[in-house]
Amino acid sequence: MAAVNGTAPPGPPLPALIQTFAFVLAPGRYITACQRRYGDVVTFSTKFDSNFVMVFDPAIVKQVFQAGPDRLHAGKANALLAPVLGDRSILLLDGEEHLRQRKLMLPPFHGRRLSAYEDVMREAADRAIDSWPVGEDFTLMPSMQMLTLEVIMRTVFGFEEGARKDELTRRIRAMLDPVSRRIGVVLLALSGGRFGTRRVVESFERRRAEVDTMIFEEIARRREAPDLEERDDIFSMLVLARDEDGRALSDRELRDELVTLLVAGHETTATGLAWAFDLLLHDPRVMAKLRDGDDDEYLDAVVKETLRARPVIPGVGRVVQEEPFALNGYEIPVGIEINPSITGVHRCAYARHTEFRPERFLEPDPPDTYTWIPFGGGVRRCLGAPFALMEMRTVVRRVLERARLEAAAPPDRVLRRGITMVPKHGVRVIQRRPPS
Ligand code: HEM
Protein backbone atom coordinates (compact mmCIF):
# COMPACT_ATOMS: atom_id res chain seq x y z
CA MET A 1 0.00 0.00 0.00
CA ALA A 2 1.33 3.48 -0.86
CA ALA A 3 2.15 5.61 2.17
CA VAL A 4 1.24 9.28 2.25
CA ASN A 5 3.89 11.47 3.83
CA GLY A 6 3.15 12.79 7.29
CA THR A 7 -0.20 11.08 7.84
CA ALA A 8 -1.23 8.49 10.42
CA PRO A 9 -1.33 4.87 9.23
CA PRO A 10 -4.79 3.62 8.18
CA GLY A 11 -6.88 1.33 10.36
CA PRO A 12 -10.38 0.01 10.94
CA PRO A 13 -12.91 2.81 11.57
CA LEU A 14 -14.67 0.72 14.25
CA PRO A 15 -15.43 2.02 17.77
CA ALA A 16 -12.81 1.08 20.41
CA LEU A 17 -15.30 -1.14 22.23
CA ILE A 18 -15.94 -3.31 19.15
CA GLN A 19 -12.20 -3.55 18.47
CA THR A 20 -11.62 -4.55 22.09
CA PHE A 21 -14.03 -7.48 21.67
CA ALA A 22 -12.31 -8.47 18.42
CA PHE A 23 -8.92 -8.46 20.19
CA VAL A 24 -10.21 -10.50 23.10
CA LEU A 25 -12.32 -13.01 21.15
CA ALA A 26 -10.41 -13.61 17.91
CA PRO A 27 -7.17 -11.62 17.89
CA GLY A 28 -5.46 -13.69 15.17
CA ARG A 29 -8.32 -13.48 12.71
CA TYR A 30 -9.02 -9.81 13.39
CA ILE A 31 -5.40 -8.71 13.03
CA THR A 32 -4.90 -10.75 9.84
CA ALA A 33 -8.06 -9.32 8.28
CA CYS A 34 -6.94 -5.76 9.10
CA GLN A 35 -3.48 -6.35 7.74
CA ARG A 36 -4.94 -7.65 4.43
CA ARG A 37 -7.22 -4.64 4.23
CA TYR A 38 -4.89 -1.83 5.39
CA GLY A 39 -1.33 -3.01 4.70
CA ASP A 40 1.87 -3.44 6.70
CA VAL A 41 1.34 -0.59 9.18
CA VAL A 42 -2.10 -0.44 10.82
CA THR A 43 -3.60 1.82 13.51
CA PHE A 44 -5.86 0.12 16.06
CA SER A 45 -7.88 1.45 18.96
CA THR A 46 -9.12 -0.48 21.99
CA LYS A 47 -10.40 0.27 25.49
CA PHE A 48 -6.96 -0.65 26.87
CA ASP A 49 -4.98 1.55 24.51
CA SER A 50 -6.85 4.25 22.60
CA ASN A 51 -4.36 4.31 19.71
CA PHE A 52 -1.54 2.00 18.73
CA VAL A 53 0.22 1.02 15.55
CA MET A 54 1.03 -2.55 14.52
CA VAL A 55 3.82 -3.35 12.09
CA PHE A 56 3.92 -6.54 9.98
CA ASP A 57 6.77 -6.10 7.52
CA PRO A 58 10.44 -6.96 8.33
CA ALA A 59 11.86 -3.86 6.59
CA ILE A 60 9.57 -1.60 8.64
CA VAL A 61 10.23 -3.60 11.84
CA LYS A 62 13.90 -2.88 11.16
CA GLN A 63 13.20 0.88 11.28
CA VAL A 64 11.63 0.38 14.72
CA PHE A 65 14.37 -1.87 16.14
CA GLN A 66 17.13 0.38 14.83
CA ALA A 67 15.69 3.62 16.25
CA GLY A 68 17.79 5.29 18.96
CA PRO A 69 16.93 4.29 22.54
CA ASP A 70 15.80 7.86 23.26
CA ARG A 71 13.32 7.92 20.38
CA LEU A 72 11.33 4.79 21.23
CA HIS A 73 10.85 3.53 24.78
CA ALA A 74 10.13 -0.13 25.54
CA GLY A 75 10.06 0.30 29.32
CA LYS A 76 6.92 2.43 29.05
CA ALA A 77 5.25 -0.23 26.93
CA ASN A 78 6.02 -2.84 29.63
CA ALA A 79 4.68 -0.72 32.51
CA LEU A 80 1.89 -3.21 33.30
CA LEU A 81 4.50 -5.64 34.60
CA ALA A 82 5.72 -3.23 37.32
CA PRO A 83 3.74 -4.73 40.22
CA VAL A 84 5.47 -8.08 39.78
CA LEU A 85 8.90 -7.08 38.51
CA GLY A 86 9.47 -3.86 40.45
CA ASP A 87 10.29 -0.46 38.93
CA ARG A 88 14.08 -1.08 38.72
CA SER A 89 13.56 -4.06 36.42
CA ILE A 90 15.51 -3.90 33.14
CA LEU A 91 12.21 -4.50 31.33
CA LEU A 92 10.77 -1.28 32.73
CA LEU A 93 13.74 1.07 32.40
CA ASP A 94 14.58 3.22 29.39
CA GLY A 95 17.48 5.27 27.99
CA GLU A 96 20.70 5.53 30.04
CA GLU A 97 19.33 3.64 33.04
CA HIS A 98 18.33 0.73 30.85
CA LEU A 99 21.71 0.60 29.11
CA ARG A 100 23.56 0.59 32.44
CA GLN A 101 21.47 -2.30 33.71
CA ARG A 102 21.79 -4.19 30.44
CA LYS A 103 25.59 -3.92 30.42
CA LEU A 104 25.72 -5.24 33.97
CA MET A 105 23.45 -8.18 33.14
CA LEU A 106 24.86 -9.21 29.77
CA PRO A 107 28.13 -11.07 30.65
CA PRO A 108 26.59 -14.16 32.31
CA PHE A 109 24.49 -14.80 29.21
CA HIS A 110 27.39 -15.33 26.84
CA GLY A 111 29.95 -17.87 25.74
CA ARG A 112 31.78 -19.99 28.28
CA ARG A 113 29.61 -18.75 31.13
CA LEU A 114 26.55 -20.03 29.36
CA SER A 115 27.89 -23.44 28.41
CA ALA A 116 28.47 -24.13 32.13
CA TYR A 117 24.67 -24.36 32.42
CA GLU A 118 24.19 -27.13 29.88
CA ASP A 119 24.68 -29.91 32.45
CA VAL A 120 22.10 -28.33 34.76
CA MET A 121 19.63 -28.23 31.89
CA ARG A 122 20.25 -31.89 31.02
CA GLU A 123 19.82 -32.95 34.66
CA ALA A 124 16.56 -31.03 34.92
CA ALA A 125 15.38 -32.78 31.74
CA ASP A 126 16.28 -36.17 33.25
CA ARG A 127 14.31 -35.40 36.36
CA ALA A 128 11.26 -34.44 34.29
CA ILE A 129 11.55 -37.55 32.10
CA ASP A 130 11.83 -39.80 35.17
CA SER A 131 8.64 -38.31 36.60
CA TRP A 132 6.47 -39.10 33.55
CA PRO A 133 3.92 -41.93 33.83
CA VAL A 134 4.13 -44.90 31.46
CA GLY A 135 1.08 -46.07 29.51
CA GLU A 136 -1.27 -43.25 30.48
CA ASP A 137 -1.54 -39.85 28.91
CA PHE A 138 -0.42 -36.68 30.69
CA THR A 139 0.01 -32.95 30.04
CA LEU A 140 3.48 -31.82 29.10
CA MET A 141 3.18 -28.09 29.91
CA PRO A 142 3.29 -28.32 33.76
CA SER A 143 6.26 -30.67 33.55
CA MET A 144 8.08 -28.18 31.30
CA GLN A 145 7.24 -25.36 33.73
CA MET A 146 8.77 -27.30 36.61
CA LEU A 147 11.79 -28.12 34.50
CA THR A 148 12.50 -24.52 33.46
CA LEU A 149 11.87 -23.20 36.98
CA GLU A 150 14.36 -25.74 38.30
CA VAL A 151 16.90 -24.51 35.72
CA ILE A 152 16.39 -20.88 36.77
CA MET A 153 16.65 -21.78 40.46
CA ARG A 154 20.02 -23.38 39.89
CA THR A 155 21.59 -21.21 37.17
CA VAL A 156 20.19 -17.80 38.12
CA PHE A 157 19.82 -18.14 41.90
CA GLY A 158 22.61 -20.70 42.36
CA PHE A 159 20.57 -22.92 44.69
CA GLU A 160 21.55 -26.52 45.33
CA GLU A 161 18.93 -29.01 46.46
CA GLY A 162 17.53 -28.14 49.86
CA ALA A 163 14.83 -26.60 51.96
CA ARG A 164 15.57 -22.98 50.97
CA LYS A 165 15.28 -23.75 47.27
CA ASP A 166 12.03 -25.62 47.80
CA GLU A 167 10.60 -22.85 49.95
CA LEU A 168 11.47 -20.07 47.49
CA THR A 169 10.07 -22.16 44.61
CA ARG A 170 6.84 -22.62 46.57
CA ARG A 171 6.54 -18.90 47.33
CA ILE A 172 7.28 -17.94 43.73
CA ARG A 173 4.61 -20.28 42.38
CA ALA A 174 2.15 -18.94 44.95
CA MET A 175 2.87 -15.40 43.72
CA LEU A 176 2.87 -16.12 39.98
CA ASP A 177 0.23 -18.82 39.47
CA PRO A 178 -2.80 -16.62 40.13
CA VAL A 179 -1.22 -13.75 38.18
CA SER A 180 -0.44 -15.80 35.09
CA ARG A 181 -3.84 -17.47 35.13
CA ARG A 182 -5.66 -14.19 35.36
CA ILE A 183 -2.91 -11.86 34.26
CA GLY A 184 -5.09 -9.51 32.24
CA VAL A 185 -7.51 -8.85 35.04
CA VAL A 186 -5.05 -8.82 37.89
CA LEU A 187 -2.44 -6.61 36.27
CA LEU A 188 -5.04 -4.14 35.19
CA ALA A 189 -6.39 -4.18 38.71
CA LEU A 190 -2.95 -3.56 40.13
CA SER A 191 -2.13 -0.81 37.68
CA GLY A 192 -5.39 1.06 37.67
CA GLY A 193 -7.57 -0.48 40.35
CA ARG A 194 -10.45 -0.33 37.92
CA PHE A 195 -11.07 -4.01 37.21
CA GLY A 196 -10.07 -5.98 40.29
CA THR A 197 -11.27 -6.33 43.81
CA ARG A 198 -9.25 -5.02 46.72
CA ARG A 199 -8.98 -8.60 48.00
CA VAL A 200 -7.18 -9.82 44.86
CA VAL A 201 -4.68 -6.97 45.08
CA GLU A 202 -4.05 -7.51 48.79
CA SER A 203 -3.50 -11.21 48.43
CA PHE A 204 -1.04 -10.62 45.59
CA GLU A 205 0.84 -8.02 47.63
CA ARG A 206 1.10 -10.42 50.58
CA ARG A 207 2.54 -13.16 48.39
CA ARG A 208 4.97 -10.79 46.73
CA ALA A 209 6.16 -9.66 50.19
CA GLU A 210 6.78 -13.33 51.12
CA VAL A 211 8.97 -13.77 48.02
CA ASP A 212 10.77 -10.48 48.62
CA THR A 213 11.59 -11.30 52.24
CA MET A 214 13.36 -14.46 51.14
CA ILE A 215 15.16 -12.78 48.24
CA PHE A 216 16.45 -9.93 50.44
CA GLU A 217 17.68 -12.52 52.98
CA GLU A 218 19.45 -14.34 50.16
CA ILE A 219 21.02 -11.07 48.93
CA ALA A 220 22.42 -10.39 52.41
CA ARG A 221 23.84 -13.95 52.63
CA ARG A 222 25.29 -13.76 49.15
CA ARG A 223 27.04 -10.43 49.78
CA GLU A 224 28.83 -12.16 52.68
CA ALA A 225 29.54 -15.47 50.90
CA PRO A 226 33.27 -16.34 51.05
CA ASP A 227 33.16 -18.20 47.71
CA LEU A 228 31.41 -15.42 45.76
CA GLU A 229 34.22 -15.09 43.18
CA GLU A 230 34.21 -18.81 42.37
CA ARG A 231 30.47 -19.26 42.01
CA ASP A 232 29.09 -19.41 38.47
CA ASP A 233 25.43 -18.56 39.11
CA ILE A 234 24.03 -15.34 37.66
CA PHE A 235 23.03 -13.99 41.10
CA SER A 236 26.65 -14.04 42.34
CA MET A 237 27.88 -12.45 39.11
CA LEU A 238 25.33 -9.66 39.50
CA VAL A 239 26.44 -9.07 43.12
CA LEU A 240 30.02 -8.65 41.86
CA ALA A 241 29.18 -6.60 38.74
CA ARG A 242 30.28 -2.95 38.63
CA ASP A 243 29.28 -0.25 36.14
CA GLU A 244 31.69 2.21 34.47
CA ASP A 245 31.67 4.40 37.60
CA GLY A 246 32.47 1.41 39.81
CA ARG A 247 28.94 1.25 41.25
CA ALA A 248 27.35 -2.07 42.22
CA LEU A 249 23.66 -2.95 41.96
CA SER A 250 21.67 -1.96 45.05
CA ASP A 251 19.60 -4.54 46.97
CA ARG A 252 16.43 -3.26 45.35
CA GLU A 253 17.96 -3.44 41.85
CA LEU A 254 19.21 -6.96 42.52
CA ARG A 255 15.78 -8.06 43.73
CA ASP A 256 14.04 -6.59 40.68
CA GLU A 257 16.52 -8.13 38.19
CA LEU A 258 16.34 -11.56 39.83
CA VAL A 259 12.56 -11.58 39.72
CA THR A 260 12.70 -10.31 36.12
CA LEU A 261 14.99 -13.15 35.03
CA LEU A 262 12.72 -15.60 36.76
CA VAL A 263 9.49 -14.26 35.27
CA ALA A 264 10.94 -13.57 31.80
CA GLY A 265 12.87 -16.81 31.65
CA HIS A 266 10.76 -19.70 32.83
CA GLU A 267 7.19 -19.61 31.51
CA THR A 268 8.45 -18.45 28.11
CA THR A 269 10.97 -21.27 27.70
CA ALA A 270 8.51 -23.85 29.07
CA THR A 271 5.93 -22.72 26.51
CA GLY A 272 8.52 -22.87 23.70
CA LEU A 273 9.40 -26.42 24.73
CA ALA A 274 5.78 -27.56 24.95
CA TRP A 275 5.22 -26.22 21.42
CA ALA A 276 8.36 -27.94 20.15
CA PHE A 277 7.01 -31.31 21.27
CA ASP A 278 3.52 -30.59 19.98
CA LEU A 279 4.92 -29.81 16.53
CA LEU A 280 7.40 -32.69 16.50
CA LEU A 281 4.96 -35.33 17.69
CA HIS A 282 2.58 -34.42 14.89
CA ASP A 283 5.23 -34.38 12.20
CA PRO A 284 6.73 -37.83 11.57
CA ARG A 285 8.99 -36.52 8.78
CA VAL A 286 10.74 -33.90 10.94
CA MET A 287 10.77 -36.24 13.95
CA ALA A 288 12.44 -39.02 11.95
CA LYS A 289 15.03 -36.66 10.49
CA LEU A 290 15.84 -35.32 13.94
CA ARG A 291 16.04 -38.78 15.55
CA ASP A 292 18.07 -40.39 12.80
CA GLY A 293 20.61 -37.63 12.29
CA ASP A 294 23.31 -36.79 14.78
CA ASP A 295 23.06 -33.26 13.64
CA ASP A 296 23.19 -30.21 15.90
CA GLU A 297 22.38 -27.91 12.99
CA TYR A 298 19.07 -29.62 12.33
CA LEU A 299 18.22 -29.56 16.05
CA ASP A 300 18.94 -25.82 16.11
CA ALA A 301 16.74 -25.36 13.03
CA VAL A 302 13.91 -27.31 14.71
CA VAL A 303 14.06 -25.02 17.73
CA LYS A 304 14.13 -21.89 15.57
CA GLU A 305 11.26 -23.09 13.39
CA THR A 306 9.24 -23.86 16.54
CA LEU A 307 9.63 -20.27 17.72
CA ARG A 308 8.84 -19.06 14.20
CA ALA A 309 5.66 -21.09 13.80
CA ARG A 310 4.52 -20.72 17.44
CA PRO A 311 6.02 -17.48 18.79
CA VAL A 312 5.59 -17.44 22.56
CA ILE A 313 5.19 -13.65 22.73
CA PRO A 314 2.95 -12.23 19.97
CA GLY A 315 4.54 -8.77 19.79
CA VAL A 316 6.64 -6.13 21.52
CA GLY A 317 5.97 -2.44 22.22
CA ARG A 318 7.81 0.85 21.77
CA VAL A 319 6.37 4.23 22.79
CA VAL A 320 7.31 7.29 20.68
CA GLN A 321 9.31 9.99 22.56
CA GLU A 322 10.40 13.60 21.99
CA GLU A 323 8.95 14.21 18.51
CA PRO A 324 6.78 12.36 15.95
CA PHE A 325 8.46 9.24 14.61
CA ALA A 326 8.73 8.80 10.84
CA LEU A 327 7.80 5.25 9.92
CA ASN A 328 7.65 4.16 6.30
CA GLY A 329 6.30 7.53 5.21
CA TYR A 330 3.80 7.82 8.04
CA GLU A 331 4.14 10.06 11.07
CA ILE A 332 3.54 8.47 14.46
CA PRO A 333 2.79 11.05 17.19
CA VAL A 334 4.59 11.25 20.56
CA GLY A 335 3.06 8.94 23.17
CA ILE A 336 1.73 6.40 20.64
CA GLU A 337 2.86 2.79 21.00
CA ILE A 338 4.31 0.99 17.98
CA ASN A 339 3.99 -2.81 18.07
CA PRO A 340 6.20 -4.90 15.82
CA SER A 341 3.92 -7.95 15.45
CA ILE A 342 5.99 -11.09 15.93
CA THR A 343 3.10 -13.33 14.92
CA GLY A 344 2.38 -11.14 11.87
CA VAL A 345 5.99 -11.06 10.63
CA HIS A 346 6.38 -14.81 11.15
CA ARG A 347 3.32 -15.33 8.98
CA CYS A 348 3.73 -12.74 6.22
CA ALA A 349 7.45 -13.01 5.59
CA TYR A 350 7.47 -16.79 5.03
CA ALA A 351 6.33 -18.85 2.07
CA ARG A 352 3.89 -21.61 3.12
CA HIS A 353 3.95 -20.19 6.61
CA THR A 354 1.62 -22.78 8.12
CA GLU A 355 4.11 -25.59 7.41
CA PHE A 356 6.56 -26.74 10.08
CA ARG A 357 9.74 -26.76 7.99
CA PRO A 358 13.05 -26.41 9.91
CA GLU A 359 14.89 -26.59 6.55
CA ARG A 360 14.06 -22.89 6.08
CA PHE A 361 16.89 -22.11 8.48
CA LEU A 362 19.41 -24.27 6.61
CA GLU A 363 18.79 -23.03 3.08
CA PRO A 364 21.12 -20.53 1.33
CA ASP A 365 19.08 -17.45 2.24
CA PRO A 366 17.92 -18.12 5.83
CA PRO A 367 15.61 -15.72 7.73
CA ASP A 368 17.48 -12.65 9.03
CA THR A 369 17.39 -10.61 12.26
CA TYR A 370 14.25 -8.73 11.23
CA THR A 371 12.38 -11.68 9.72
CA TRP A 372 12.86 -14.07 12.65
CA ILE A 373 11.98 -12.05 15.75
CA PRO A 374 10.69 -14.32 18.56
CA PHE A 375 13.04 -12.48 20.94
CA GLY A 376 12.20 -8.94 19.79
CA GLY A 377 15.12 -6.79 18.63
CA GLY A 378 17.53 -3.87 18.81
CA VAL A 379 18.83 -2.70 22.20
CA ARG A 380 15.90 -4.48 23.86
CA ARG A 381 16.37 -7.89 22.26
CA CYS A 382 15.81 -10.66 24.81
CA LEU A 383 18.86 -10.95 27.02
CA GLY A 384 18.16 -14.62 27.61
CA ALA A 385 17.85 -15.66 23.93
CA PRO A 386 21.09 -17.73 23.82
CA PHE A 387 20.14 -19.26 27.20
CA ALA A 388 16.62 -20.16 26.02
CA LEU A 389 17.83 -21.61 22.72
CA MET A 390 20.42 -23.73 24.50
CA GLU A 391 17.85 -24.94 27.00
CA MET A 392 15.39 -25.87 24.26
CA ARG A 393 18.06 -27.75 22.27
CA THR A 394 19.33 -29.58 25.36
CA VAL A 395 15.89 -30.65 26.57
CA VAL A 396 14.61 -31.73 23.14
CA ARG A 397 17.79 -33.75 22.53
CA ARG A 398 17.60 -35.42 25.95
CA VAL A 399 13.94 -36.36 25.63
CA LEU A 400 14.57 -37.88 22.21
CA GLU A 401 17.54 -39.83 23.57
CA ARG A 402 15.69 -41.29 26.52
CA ALA A 403 11.94 -41.33 25.94
CA ARG A 404 9.39 -42.38 23.33
CA LEU A 405 6.53 -39.92 23.48
CA GLU A 406 3.45 -40.06 21.28
CA ALA A 407 0.79 -37.42 20.79
CA ALA A 408 -2.37 -38.22 22.77
CA ALA A 409 -4.49 -35.48 21.16
CA PRO A 410 -4.69 -33.54 17.88
CA PRO A 411 -2.28 -30.58 17.39
CA ASP A 412 -2.95 -28.11 20.20
CA ARG A 413 -4.71 -24.80 19.64
CA VAL A 414 -3.02 -21.46 20.31
CA LEU A 415 -4.49 -19.63 23.29
CA ARG A 416 -3.52 -16.17 24.42
CA ARG A 417 -2.85 -16.22 28.16
CA GLY A 418 -1.65 -12.93 29.58
CA ILE A 419 1.27 -11.91 27.41
CA THR A 420 2.07 -15.39 26.12
CA MET A 421 0.62 -17.69 23.44
CA VAL A 422 0.22 -21.09 25.08
CA PRO A 423 -1.04 -24.51 23.92
CA LYS A 424 -4.71 -24.52 24.91
CA HIS A 425 -4.70 -28.07 26.32
CA GLY A 426 -1.10 -28.05 27.54
CA VAL A 427 0.00 -30.68 24.94
CA ARG A 428 -1.38 -34.14 25.84
CA VAL A 429 1.14 -36.94 25.32
CA ILE A 430 1.69 -40.59 26.22
CA GLN A 431 4.84 -42.54 27.00
CA ARG A 432 4.51 -46.16 25.84
CA ARG A 433 7.53 -47.70 27.60
CA PRO A 434 9.79 -46.67 30.48
CA PRO A 435 12.55 -44.22 29.56
CA SER A 436 16.05 -45.59 29.06
C1 HEM B 1 11.70 -19.03 24.49
C2 HEM B 1 11.99 -18.26 25.52
C3 HEM B 1 11.94 -16.75 25.50
C4 HEM B 1 11.25 -15.90 24.68
C5 HEM B 1 10.31 -16.25 23.52
C6 HEM B 1 11.56 -14.54 25.11
C7 HEM B 1 11.08 -13.39 24.50
C8 HEM B 1 11.41 -12.10 24.89
C9 HEM B 1 10.91 -10.91 24.25
C10 HEM B 1 9.97 -10.89 23.04
C11 HEM B 1 11.45 -9.84 24.89
C12 HEM B 1 11.20 -8.36 24.58
C13 HEM B 1 12.18 -7.91 23.51
C14 HEM B 1 11.90 -6.55 22.90
O15 HEM B 1 11.20 -5.72 23.50
O16 HEM B 1 12.40 -6.32 21.78
C17 HEM B 1 12.29 -10.35 25.96
C18 HEM B 1 13.02 -9.56 26.83
C19 HEM B 1 13.79 -10.07 27.85
N20 HEM B 1 13.99 -11.40 28.16
FE21 HEM B 1 13.30 -13.00 27.13
N22 HEM B 1 12.42 -14.60 26.17
C23 HEM B 1 12.68 -15.92 26.45
C24 HEM B 1 13.52 -16.43 27.43
C25 HEM B 1 14.25 -15.66 28.32
C26 HEM B 1 15.17 -16.17 29.30
C27 HEM B 1 15.51 -17.65 29.49
C28 HEM B 1 15.62 -15.10 30.02
C29 HEM B 1 16.60 -15.07 31.16
C30 HEM B 1 16.90 -16.07 31.95
C31 HEM B 1 15.03 -13.90 29.45
C32 HEM B 1 15.27 -12.62 29.88
C33 HEM B 1 14.81 -11.48 29.25
C34 HEM B 1 15.16 -10.13 29.69
C35 HEM B 1 16.05 -9.75 30.88
C36 HEM B 1 14.53 -9.24 28.80
C37 HEM B 1 14.58 -7.70 28.83
C38 HEM B 1 15.64 -7.16 27.86
C39 HEM B 1 15.71 -5.64 27.84
O40 HEM B 1 14.70 -4.98 28.10
O41 HEM B 1 16.80 -5.10 27.55
N42 HEM B 1 14.18 -14.27 28.44
N43 HEM B 1 12.25 -11.74 25.92
Domain boundaries, the chain: 51-431
The kind and range of the H/E element at 405 are: strand 405-407
d(CA 134, CA 38) in angstroms, rounded, equals 51
Is 120 touching ligand 1 by the criterion CB < 6 Å?
A: no
Cβ-based burial of 111 (10 A; exposed 0-12, middle 13-18, buried ≥19): exposed
Whole-model pTM: value is 0.94
Percent of the chain whose pLDDT exceeds 70: 94
Tell me what pLDDT residue 50 has.
Answer: 83
Cβ-proximal residues to 29 (8 Å cutoff; 6+ apart), any chain: none
The pLDDT assigned to 198 comes to 73
Q: Ligand 1 in contact with 34 (CB < 6 A)?
A: no
Q: How far is the CA of 103 from the centre of ligand 1 (A)?
A: 15
Look at ligand 1, atom 6, and give the residue with the nearest C-alpha: 375
Q: Mind listing the pLDDT tens digit for each residue in 138-177?
A: 999 999 999 999 999 999 999 988 899 999 999 998 888 7
Atom of ligand 1 nearest to the CA of 271: 1
User: What is the spatial distance between Cα 97 and Cα 11, in angstroms, rounded to a whole number?
Assistant: 35
For residue 197, pLDDT over 90 is answered with no
Is 91 close to ligand 1, i.e. is its CB under 6 Å away?
Answer: yes
pLDDT of residue 413: 94
CB-hemisphere CA count at 13 Å for 65? 25
CA-closest residue to ligand 1 atom 11: 382
What pLDDT is stored for residue 6 in this prediction? 66
Give per-residue pLDDT as tens, 14-64: 999 999 889 888 888 899 999 999 999 999 998 878 899 999 999 999 999
CA-CA distance, 417 to 263, in Å (whole number)? 14
Query: Which positions ≥6 away from 9 have C-beta within 8 Å?
Result: 3, 38, 39, 41, 42, 43, 53, 327, 330, 332
Contact 253, 239 (CB under 8 A): no
| pLDDT of 194 | 47
**pLDDT at residue 188 is higher than 70:** no
Average pLDDT over residues 259-287: 96
Pocket lining: 153 vs ligand 1, CB cutoff 6 Å: no
Highest mean pLDDT range out of 44-53, 107-116, 180-189, 244-253?
244-253
Cα of 137 from ligand 1 centre, angstroms: 32
At 370 the pLDDT is: 97
Tens-place pLDDT, residues 64-81: 999 999 999 999 888 888
Residues 215-231: tens digit of each pLDDT:
999 999 999 999 999 99
Residue among 141, 117, 130, 146 nearest 402 (CA): 130
User: Is the distance from the beta carbon of residue 338 to the nearest atom of ligand 1 less than 6 Å?
Assistant: no
Q: Where in 245-391 does DSSP place strands (E)?
A: 318-320, 325-327, 330-332, 337-340
Rounded-to-integer distance, Cα 249 and Cα 240, Å = 9
Across the chain, mean pLDDT equals 91
Is residue 104 within 8 Å of 96, Cβ to Cβ?
no
93 lines ligand 1 (CB under 6 A): no
User: For ligand 1, is residue 266 a contact (CB within 6 Å)?
Assistant: no
Write the pLDDT tens digit of every residue in 337-378: 999 999 999 999 999 999 999 999 999 999 999 999 999 999
Sign of CA dihedral 100, 250, 387, 349: negative
Say yes or no to pLDDT of 236 above 60: yes
Lowest mean pLDDT among 194-203, 313-322, 380-389: 194-203
Residue 215 to residue 165: CA distance in whole angstroms: 11
DSSP 8-class letter at 379? G
More confident call, 140 vs 195:
140
387 CA to centre of ligand 1 in angstroms: 10
| Ligand 1 geometric centre to CA of 268 (Å) | 8
The alpha carbon of 172 and the centre of ligand 1 are apart by a number of angstroms equal to 19
Measure the CA–CA gap between 126 and 146, rounded to whole angstroms. 12
Is the CB of 374 within 6 Å of ligand 1? yes
Give Dmax over CA atoms of the chain in angstroms: 64
**How far apart are the C-alpha atoms of 336 and 321, rounded to whole Å?**
9
Closest CA to 347 of 317, 393, 314, 298: 314
pLDDT digits (tens, 9 = 90+) for 3-13: 445 688 999 99
The DSSP H or E segment spanning 216 is: helix 198-224
Class of domain 51-431: mainly alpha
Asked if 185 and 195 touch (Cβ cutoff 8 Å), the reply is yes
Q: Is 75 in the pocket of ligand 1 (CB under 6 A)?
A: no
pLDDT of 418 higher than 90: no
Q: For 111-128, what is the mean pLDDT?
A: 92
Give the residues across from 44 on adjacent strands: 52
| Ligand 1 atom having least distance to the Cα of 380 | 41
Cα 379 to chain centroid distance, Å, stands at 16
Alpha helices of 282-415 — where are they, by DSSP H? 284-292, 296-309, 342-348, 385-402
Atom 16 of ligand 1, nearest CA residue: 376
The DSSP H or E segment spanning 429 is strand 428-431
- The stretch 242-267 carries a mean pLDDT of 94
Neighbours of 348 (CB within 10 A): 17
What's the pLDDT at 196? 54
